[in-house]
Structure 1
Amino acid sequence: MALFLNASLSSTSKTHHRLSFSTTSTTPPPFLRTNPKQTQQPPPKLTLSFVESVSSATLVALLSASLFFVHPALAFKGGGPYGQGVTRGQDLSGKDFSGKTLIKQDFKTSILRQANFKGAKLLGASFFDADLTGADLSDADLRSADFSLANVTKVNLSNANLEGALVTGNTSFKGSIITGADFTDVPLREDQRVYLCTIADGVNSTTGNATRDTLLCN
């Protein structure tokens, strides 16, 4: 639609001036336009859609659950408060731990064949379901250690202190050397106790207890 604008200007003089504007554009002239600053719309606010909310909640739930259901092999960072190397579920055959302080060290399910623990401090250490075949535990401090389900065959336990150690399940000491070992308060199965009494001798140099006495042999 064409817009025609006629404006007449007059002055005190007799001269008349006629000012005419004409345009075929629908755009209003500059003096009729509104201030852009007054009509500027505020930036749209960001809102979180329902789908995004659900996705975020799901992600948080998965991250939280991962803290509780991490695979044990990944969650395990150290072997214990004194020995920081990873010793759980490892093949440590022939490794030398002699004389080391490994209190409450975790050796669960590890293979420890012919490993050397001579004189090591292993109070409260866990050998749960570990294979200690042929290992040297002589002179070791094994008080309250856990040997549940462990294979302790042909192990050198000479002068070792096993006071209060946990021995249950299929723990076997067949072929082990127990001269001077202290088995005070070790809950042995009757068949294991009878077997150990047939090979028991010596006195523990640390506790002064005779091996046969600690095994309640007749």
Structure 2
Amino acid sequence: MAILSNVSFPCSNISLKPSLSSSRHHCLIRCSLEGKEVVSPLVWSLGEEVSKRSLLALVSASLFFVDPALAFKGGGPYGQGVTRGQDLSGKDFSGQTLIRQDFKTSILRQANFKGAKLLGASFFDADLTGADLSETDLRGADFSLANVTKVNLTNANLEGATATGNTSFKGSNITGADFTDVPLRDDQREYLCKIADGVNATTGNATRDTLLCN
């Protein structure tokens, strides 16, 4: 006779409700993630003691083999929707609060982030070609290896952002952008100084000054 228990995940307490004893116990784990129901069976012998904590650990571990995409949460106020490694071309994120949002390796061509709060957001190896990042708060954002070509960075605040590796700002509009403490390759700094203009409306810093242009 099998014993079936339904367990919701995540949960802090797991209870098993045995009805009849048997030589084998079967526990059917049902979890709801990203709108999908995940069912995972666990089996153990009567002579084997399984603690609640051990069972929770087994459930957690099993979820990583259900759908790899579920391991990459977008997080932040945008919600639990996956934003990492996704094609989000043309999506409208304008005016949203997306602090520490994970956009690693995502395709964000022509995406609209105008006026969004993106403090600490990660755009590592993302494709932002043609995106609108005007008037955004990008302090501490990570643009390592990102394609930031033809992007509108008008009045964007990039203080302390990371832009190393092959990060390229070619063809971007940086009028009024604040690049204070942004580490740039010499060739990128030289290129940006040729087109730098304006003063950031929020910080009051001149773009050329923040780029340390001569």
**Scaled by the length of structure 2, what TM-score is found?**
0.71
Mean CA deviation greater in 91-100 or 61-70 = 61-70
Q: CA deviation at 1:193?
A: 0.6
Q: CA deviation at 1:81?
A: 2.1
Residue 206 of structure 1, aligned match among 180, 193, 202: 202
CA deviations on 1:23-80 (whole Å, 9 max, x unpaired) are xxxxxxxxxxxxxxxxxxxxxx9889xx9589999x9797675467776522224x22
1:80 and 2:75 correspond: yes
Pair 153,68 (structure 1): closer, same or farther in 2 beyond 3 Å: same
1:107 and 2:136 correspond: no
Instruction: Report which of the two has the higher share of helix.
Output: 1
Which position in structure 2 is the counterpart of 1:128?
Answer: 124
Mapped to 1, the partners of 2:45 and 2:177 lie a distance apart of: 66
Which position in structure 2 is the counterpart of 1:176?
Answer: 172
Mapped to 2, the partners of 1:56 and 1:113 lie a distance apart of: 53
The 5-angstrom pairing of residues 45-124 of structure 1 reads 65-66=61-62, 72-77=68-73, 79-84=74-79, 85-124=81-120
Mapped to 2, the partners of 1:187 and 1:46 lie a distance apart of: 65
Partner AA of 2:77 in structure 1: Y
Q: 2:84 touches 2:105 (CA, 8 Å); kept in 1?
A: yes
Aligned length: 170
CA deviations on 1:92-132 (whole Å, 9 max, x unpaired) are 11111111111111111111000001111100111111100
Unaligned runs of 5+ in 1: 1-44
Residue 165 of structure 1, aligned match among 147, 161, 169: 161
**Scaled by the length of structure 1, what TM-score is found?**
0.69
Mapped to 2, the partners of 1:52 and 1:67 lie a distance apart of: 22
The 5-angstrom pairing of residues 137-156 of structure 1 reads 137-156=133-152
Mapped to 2, the partners of 1:149 and 1:131 lie a distance apart of: 9
Pair 171,72 (structure 1): closer, same or farther in 2 beyond 3 Å: farther
Partner AA of 1:82 in structure 2: P
Pair 68,74 (structure 1): closer, same or farther in 2 beyond 3 Å: closer
Question: How large is the Cα RMSD of the aligned pairs?
Answer: 2.7
Pair 74,204 (structure 1): closer, same or farther in 2 beyond 3 Å: same
CA deviations on 1:115-155 (whole Å, 9 max, x unpaired) are 00111110011111110000000000000001011100000
Mapped to 1, the partners of 2:125 and 2:66 lie a distance apart of: 21
Which position in structure 2 is the counterpart of 1:5?
Answer: none
Q: 2:69 touches 2:82 (CA, 8 Å); kept in 1?
A: no
Pair 127,52 (structure 1): closer, same or farther in 2 beyond 3 Å: same
Q: CA deviation at 1:211?
A: 0.3
Unaligned runs of 5+ in 2: 1-20, 25-43
Identity %: 81
Compare CA radii of gyration and give the structure with the larger one: 1
Secondary structure of the 1:82 match is coil
Q: CA deviation at 1:174?
A: 0.5
Pair 56,82 (structure 1): closer, same or farther in 2 beyond 3 Å: same
